[in-house]
Amino acid sequence: MLDTTLPPGYLGAAHLHPLPLHLPLLPVRATCGFPSPAEDFYGSQDVLDINQRVVRNPVATFYVEADTGTSMVEFGIFPGDTLVVDRSLTARHGDIVMVCWEGGFTVKQLRLRAGRYELHSGNPANAPILVPEDVELDVWGVVTWSFRKQLRR
């Protein structure tokens, strides 16, 4: 049976047919050191549609906001980040997943050890959640992207 419960912080589903939002895409990777001479070769045809970049399966992709917890910071997920969650993907060892656990939603790294699932936070001070063998783990989706606002005002 498909779980239709929506997690706290649910921001909405990816649109099936979003209007394209073509933003300029520089043909270089940004360095944090010296500027690149390739910046002089930017053309108006170099564009990026963020939906095409992050959404693989629109009918199964949702956005959710990370809460105020900091247990996933070491994995690059900070409080308030927007997470892109794809429900069509099969979770694998090492994936960051959103799971239904003990009546709520949580985001953790999925690990398979000795035939058992473990849910790890990025904070070593937090013990992993060891999923009992007789409990079926309800993986709601795989986190494929996260976005963080950089502007501090």
What is the Cα–Cα distance from 62 to 127, expressed in whole angstroms? Answer: 28
CB contact set of 136 (below 8 Å; sequence gap of 6+): none
Fold entry, domain 10-15+57-147: Umud Fragment, subunit A (2.10.109)
Residues 95-122 pLDDT 10s: 999 999 988 899 999 999 998 999 999 9
Strands 47-49 and 61-65: unpaired
Q: Which residues are catalytic?
A: 71, 108
Predicted model pTM: 0.74
Cross-sheet strand order for the sheet of 129-130: 10-13, 61-65, 82-86, 138-147, 96-101, 104-113, 116-120, 129-130
- Residue spans per domain, the chain: 10-15+57-147
Q: What pLDDT digit, counting tens, does each position of 40-75 carry?
A: 665 666 777 788 889 888 888 888 989 988 999 999
